[in-house]
Structure 1
């Protein structure tokens, strides 16, 4: 029942693309933020693993809350505006219509995607840090393992975009990975 309603709302508002874009954009923000933080901690070689995890979790939570609240506020305003324009064009009150329910429900769905994307990407990337803190022996330094996870996530987001856009997923993944490499290079340059 709920899935049918969501599908109807997505159809009425044509929000599939918006949700995909928000997922990728904020997932990329989360991954790149974690890459930057962890790279900085790796280069400093001073912070304890618990401090790194706390800083990364704090940033991940902030990114999630920021993504949720900003998307909800902006999408709610846009959907109210679109509904008012539709009511004006139809010269009718649509407050009990499927369009009105979609105008109220879709902003929440978009906000959930927008907020969860950076949070989930961040949690995935810092997983090696949590494993190491809990006594699991990793093959490589936990920070390097997390940096590797960040690059994999960033490549995956690029490949996803390439797939959606009908372009070569590998080239698209390489493009996003190049952005990540540029970010690390800039951090290295600043650290010198």
Structure 2
């Protein structure tokens, strides 16, 4: 509990809560749309064995996660070091061992983990029905690709709802706006793939 309180404090003094929320939504949205695109691509192409579809989606999920962690860590570290340097100049002393110094070291890691976890987690949830089908746990009447697409649309809608909650606007409207983006994306893929 003490460690969580300290993390909360570091996030507060570095004003990083909003940044982490944005990274979660933006990269989560990227992960969900990427999986939507991959699965729709497999749907409009020649039928591929389920292990091939799972392998492609899993590879993309891992790449999105690693990209999210590494890109956010590099950019956030640079930004935090710059901000710490400016604060040290203004105070005319080293803040290396202060709470601000700690925040400059730890916040980039926390932000990077959120940035990488969001697309990975959402992608894995979307791939879930494919794994269930491969394990024989999905009803045969239900297409694994359709089930995965349904999960993708629901998650994208929920990301929109989350944004609506943050902004204090209509949850339905915000969710439907996010869903509209997914439907337009799906329509483009169907149009170009068909």
2:51 corresponds in structure 1 to 50
Provide the aligned C-alpha RMSD in A: 0.7
Tell me the matched-pair count.
192
Contact 2:81 2:104 in 1 (8 A): yes
Structure 2 regions of 5+ residues with no counterpart? Answer: none
Structure 1 regions of 5+ residues with no counterpart? Answer: none
Answer yes or no: is 1:9 the counterpart of 2:10: yes
| Per-residue Cα deviation, 1:155-187 (whole angstroms, up to 9, x for no partner) | 000000001000001000000000000001000
Could you tell me how far apart the structure 2 residues matched to 1:4 and 1:160 are? 24
TM-superposed CA distance for 1:147, in Å, is 0.2
Could you tell me how far apart the structure 2 residues matched to 1:43 and 1:83 are? 51
The 4+ residue runs of structure 1 with deviation greater than 2 A are: none
TM-superposed CA distance for 1:44, in Å, is 1.2
TM-superposed CA distance for 1:125, in Å, is 0.4
Could you tell me how far apart the structure 2 residues matched to 1:166 and 1:98 are? 32
Q: Normalization by structure 1: what TM-score?
A: 0.98
Could you tell me how far apart the structure 2 residues matched to 1:158 and 1:149 are? 14
Q: Normalization by structure 2: what TM-score?
A: 0.97
